[in-house]
Structure 1
Amino acid sequence: MSIAGSPHPWRWPRTLGARLFLILLAGLILAHALSFSALFLERYMATRNVMLNTLESDVATSIAILDRLPANERANWLDRLDRGTYRFELGNGLPGVPDMSKRGAEIAAKIEAAGGQRFPIHVESIPGDAMRLQAHLTLSDGAPLTIDVRPAAMPLADWLPYVLVAQLLLLVLCTWFAVRQAIRPLVDLAHAADTLDPNKKAPRLSESGPSEVAYAATAFNAMRDRIAHYLEERVQILAAISHDLQTPITRMKLRAEVGEDSAEKDKLIQDLTEIERLVHEGVAYARSAHGDAEKSSRIDITSFMESLVYDYQDTGKAVTIEGKILAPVDTRPHALRRIFTNLIDNALKFGGSAEVYLESDKNGQATVKIMDRGPGIPEDHLEAVLQPFFRLEQSRNRGTGGTGLGLAIAHQLALAIGASLQLRNRAGGGLSAEVTIR
C-alpha cells in the first residue's frame, strides 16, 4: 500500500506480527487519546466556569474596596489585589479596540457584571497582545480605574507528562505481549510444517492453548501421522512387489540359461538382470526416503572409512584415503556405509579411481570427500542429479547411464541421518562429493 507521487511511499510491514502490532497499538493510542481529550475538555470547562464565577466576585469585591479607600491609599492596595491573571491600575490604561475573541467576550461579560449599574465598565482588547484585555471604569470620586486582564492557559501538573509516557509504554508492552501470544502458535505451526519429516521422531506439535490453536495443532499432527502411514505403506508395497517379482524373474532367467546359446539369449539375460537390479534399487530408494529402524551408535569415522577403502583395495579397485577425523560421531553405520559405497562406486564408474579425504573443523563437524577425475557434472545439473531416476547419460544403455538412483539414495540417506551431501566440480576436472556429518 503506497501513496502515488509520495517521495517516501508507505509500505505495510512484511510480518503479520508487525502488522497486528501496529493496528492494535494505533487503535489503543487513538482510544486513549480520545479518552484523555474528553476528560481534559470536561475539566477545562468545569475549571473555566469556576474561574469565571470567581473572577466576577473577586472583581466586584476589589472595586468596592478601592472605591471606599481614600485616593492617596489606593496605590498601596494594588499589589494586595493582584491575582496574577489580572491586576488593577490607577489611570486610563492603554487604548484598545472593541473586537475580541469568544473567550475574551466571556471574561468581559463577567467583569461588566461585577461592576453592575453603579460602576459601568467598558472592556476592550489590546492590539498586538493576544487575549490581553483592559476594563475601564470610573470610581465614585471620578478617579479612573483600569483592570488589566491577562488570561492564562489552564495549568497542568508537572507529573502529567510522565504519566502519559508511562501509559504509552504500558500500551506498547501490552500490545506486544498480546500479539506475541497470538502469533506464537502460528510461528510454531509454520516451523513444524517447514521441518516436517515423518521419518524422524520429532516432538509433536503442542495441542494446548486456545481452542482454535489446539484444533489446528491436532489437525497438523493427524496430517503428519497420515503422511507417515502413507510412506510406510509405499515401502511395504514396493517391498511386496520386489518380493513377488523375484520368483518370475528368477524363473525367466533359468529358462533363458537352459536355452541354446545365441545373441538373443545373452540380451534376454542382460535385460532380466537389469530389471532385477532396478527393482532392488527402487526399493532401496524408497527405504532410504522413509528411513528404517537402525539405531544410532558412536563410531570412529576414520577407522570406519579405512575399513571401507581397504575392502575396495582388496578387490583391486583404485581407491585411496587421506586425512583423519579424531572425534567420534553419532550416526547410523549401515546407512553411512551405503552412502559412501554409492559415492565410491559412482567415482569408480565415471572416473576410474576414487580419492577419499577426511577432515574436521574446530566445532567437531566431520567432512568426508569422495573425489574423482572423471568428466564432472554441468553446473546447472549439480542439484538435479540428486533427484531419483535422473541420468546425465540419457541413452537406454544402463551400463553407461545407470538407473539414476545411486546419488538419490545417498542424498536421501544423508538427510535421514542428519548429514548433508553436496556435489562440486573440481578444478582441473572431476567431481567432489562432500558428506558433512554434524
Structure 2
Amino acid sequence: MSTLYNLRKRIFFVFIAIMIFRIGSFIPIPGINIQVLEKFFIYKNSSILTMFNMFSGGSLNRASIFALGVMPYISSSIIVQLLTLISSYLRNLKKEGDIGKKTINQYTKYITFFLSIIQSIGVVISLPFLPGMKNIIVFADCYFYIIAVVSLVTGTIFLMWLGELITTKGVGNGVSLIIFSGIISGLPASVIRTYKLIKIKNFSFLYVFFLLLIIFFVIFIVVFIEKSQRKIIVCYARRQQGRRMYTAHHSYLPLKLNMAGVIPVIFSSSLIVFPSILLTYLRYVFNDYKKIIYFFDFLKFKHSIYLIVNIILIIFFCFFYTNIIFNVQDTANNLKKSGAFLPGIRPGLKTAEYIKNIVFKLTTIGSIYTVFICLIPDIVRYFFKVPFNFGGTSLLIVVVVLIEFITQTQTLMMSTQYKKILKKSHLYLKN
C-alpha cells in the first residue's frame, strides 16, 4: 500500500512540476514588447526559430524567462560526454561510481551556467537587429540588458534543477519530460492550424484519411521498434555452493533495438538550432557580408544541406550514446564472473566481440529508423503537399517519452505486487 501511495505521489509530483514549467513559460522578461515578437514569429513561421520555440514550449514566442529552455543543459551534456572520450581524468571519474557521476554532473552544471550566460547575452543584444523588431525593447538601457540576461540564465538554471527533481522524485527522465510538455503544449494549435488548412483548401475525404493513416503508421512504427528486443541466450553452468548443487539453467540478455532512445534526436536538434540562430542574427546584424548570407542559405531550416547535417548528427549520436550507456567489455566480464557463457562462444574476449557485433547491427537499424521517423513528415509534406504541422522529431520525442514514462510506472507497480507476494509468503512460512 505504501508503494502504491509512493507511485501516486511521484506521478502527482511530475504533474505539479510540469504545471510550474507551463506557468513559468508565460512570465515575460521585463521591458520586452511581446506583441512585436509574436508578429515576428508569424512572419518567420518556417524558420529554425519555430523549432527552438517548440522545444521551449512557446516560451521564446512569449519572451518568457524560460525562453532558452533546457537547451544549454543538453549542449553542456554533449560537451562533457565528448570530453569523456578525450580526457583520462573524466574517464576515471566515470568508473568511480556514484561519486564520480556526481562530480561529472557538477561540471555539466557549471558548463550549463556558462553557456546560458553566452546564449542569453547573444539573444538579448541581437533582438533589436532582427527585421521589424526595432521597437521590441521598451527602454534599451543597461538595466534592461542586465535584468534580461539574469532572467534568462535564472530560468535555465531553474529548469535544470526542476528536471533533476523530476528524475529523482518523480517518474521518467526530467529533462525529456520538460521537452515533452513543451511540444505537447503546441499540439492543439498545430491540429487546429492543420484543420483550417484542410478546410480552406477543401481537401477530399480520402486525402484527410491518407493524412491520418500516415500519423498512425509513424506512431505504430515508433511503438513497435521501441518495444523490440534482441534476446541473447545466456547459459549458467551447473555449480556447487556449500552442500547445495545448483542445476544448469539459462536466461536472456535483452538488447533494445534502439538503445539510444530519443537522446540522439535531442542532441542533434540542439546542435543545429543554436548555430542556425546565430547565423540568422549575423545575417541581419551584418547584412553586407555576402559570405555570412551564403552560409546562412545553406544551413536554412528544411534546406537539403540542413537535412544532410541533421542525418549525419543523428547517426553519429546513435552510435556515440549507445557506446556510453552500454559497455560491451564490462558486460562480457560480468557474465564471466557470474559463471555465465553464451552457447558456442568462449567467455571473455570472444563474448565481447560477439555482443559488440550484435550491438553494432542493432544500432545501425536503430539509427536508420530514427532518421526515417524524423524525416518522413518532411518528405510527405514536400512531395504530397500535406499540411502536416507536427514534425517527425517532435513525434518521436513525444511517443518515446510516453513509452518510457509508462514503462517506469509499470515497473513500480510490478514491484508493489512483488512485495505483496513476498509478504504473504513470509506470513505463510511463519504460520
Tell me the TM-score normalised to structure 2 length.
0.17
From the two aligned structures, give the one with the greater strand fraction: 1
From the two aligned structures, give the one with the greater helix fraction: 2
Highest CA radius of gyration, 1 or 2?
1
Question: Larger relative CO (CA 8 A, sep 6+): 1 or 2?
Answer: 2
